[in-house]
Chains A and B, each alone.
Chain A
Amino acid sequence: MPPITRGFHGRRRRDIDPARIPPGQYVVEDFPVLSAGPTPRTPLEQWSFSVGGAVDAPSSWGWEDLLALPAETFTVDIHCVTKWSKLDTSWTGVSVDTLLDGVGTQTGYVSAWCDGGYTTNLPLADLTGGRAWVVYRFNGLPLHPEHGGPVRLLVPHLYFWKSAKWVRGLTLTATDEPGFWEAAGYHNRGDPWKEQRYWND
């Protein structure tokens, strides 16, 4: 049993269905920013998105190519490992299923890489089946650089560090390769509903 903290009553949110909030999270109305370094800014004419590594047919899209792909607009809840959750966020982007269509691979691991040097690793299964996107609009507007613009990965069923900002590509890898935070003591998968914050959770 955890110790009772004398005099602490807390402030429950009666206006929110508790079933929407993973353990240990609290709901925010604003949109906090977490990144480990300066915000990179790549000009759109130099920007591209690649799918490569252990694939039969690598692919690459320029900015206009990406915008020409079939887009989806959808509303999801997001959960950051630093405890905040933000409900009903609206995004527009391209399903990762679309980007992986026809590349062909035998492996089950992906490393997402980004401007600024950030990486994060995911099982391929977490990026497919309509559960992951590369997004370029937030609430109907172009995605702000602070929040990962021009394009970020969005994997809302995992903690938000997996939704890599400034993403430039997906590399299919033969083995599971821990990314930036995963190598620094955070959980390898990061399921917020299992509260997988740190490596031993």
Chain B
Amino acid sequence: MERAALLERLTSRRAPIVWRTATVREIVPETVQGRTIVLVVPGWPGHRAGQHVDVRLTAEDGYQAQRSYSIASAPESPELSLTVVVFEDGEVSPYLVEELQVGDEFEVRGPVGGYFTWRVQDGGPLLLVAGGSGLVPLMAMLRHHAAQKSDIPARLLVSARSIDDVLYREELASLAGHDGVEVTFTLTREQPEGWTGASRRVDVEMLRAIGLSPTDHPKIFVCGPTAFVESVADRLVELGHDPASVHAERFGPTGE
């Protein structure tokens, strides 16, 4: 690793990662199964797009449960937003999506993760590939891109089961086509009438059609379920992208 990058990583960890009380200021429905939770966190040290937080819930009898969630808001946002999609059989996500109300409190600590991050000064172009709720940390990057009025080319490919499963639909529509941002969707299970976009799983052809080739040296971020990320990362390497340029974040089981 270059010395400057290492030094930066070492100094960026100076803010201690401690539990802080978060209060729910607002809840924004996103999809049937997902919502954005807007939090006020006194003392929050700030974050980089792509990072996540640990969430800790405490029941009345003292029982606690911890999980990690990606940060959806841009570093420039005064509040900290998490977007949570229900995991079937989950212990924490059903509470956060179905039960949590404005004014409720829980604890967060972070930001966590110094690798799957992007700032405008890191440069581009940006190639972002999202599977389902893997869009959340990539959205933080696009929001940061917009807040900085950057014109760094950014291509986002979103794979979702149906149009109703796509998070931040309206905001993505408003970002697309400006300041170098282009957004492409593929809907793998169900397509609305008249859909002219892709309707298959992400493949080499689709990644090629996005238009950033290995010679553009894009900074690549892939986030989604394990099988999705495994497949997309393999296809990107097949296309000739440098494996070291492919930042991956996987969640969920392997299906094995």
Contact = CB atoms under 8 A, between A and B. Distances in A.
B67 A198 contact: no
A11 interface: yes
Contacts of B65: 8, 10, 26
A9 B59 contact: yes
Interface in B65-96: 65-68, 91, 95
A64 B250 CA distance: 32
Contacts, number: 139
Interface in A4-44: 4-12, 24, 26, 28, 30-40
B129 to A, nearest CB: 12
Contacts of A11: 91
Given A2-B56, A30-B256, A35 B13 contact: no
Contacts of A3: 21, 58, 105-107
A38 B17 contact: no
A47 B120 CA distance: 39
Interface in B87-129: 91, 95, 99-101, 104-107, 109, 112-116
* Interface residue SS majority, chain B: mixed
B174 interface: no
Contacts of A144: 256
B243 A4 contact: no
Interface residues of B, number: 57
A32 B248 contact: no
A5 B246 contact: no
Interface string B165-195: 0000000000000000000000000000000
A10 B92 CA distance: 7
* Interface residue SS majority, chain A: loop
B9 A31 contact: no
B226 A37 contact: no
B6 interface: yes
A74 interface: no
Given A32-B226, A38-B248, A184 B57 contact: no
A200 B246 contact: no
Given A8-B95, A8-B99, A83-B67, A33 B10 contact: no
Interface of A: 2-12, 24, 26, 28, 30-40, 82-83, 116-117, 144, 146-147, 178, 180-181, 183-185, 197-201
**What are the 5 A-B residue pairs with the smallest beta carbon separation, nearest first?**
A184-B114, A30-B253, A38-B233, A185-B13, A198-B17
Given A197-B54, A199-B17, 13 more contacts: A4-B60, A5-B106, A24-B66, A32-B251, A35-B250, A36-B248, A37-B243, A37-B244, A83-B66, A184-B13, A184-B115, A185-B113, A200-B18
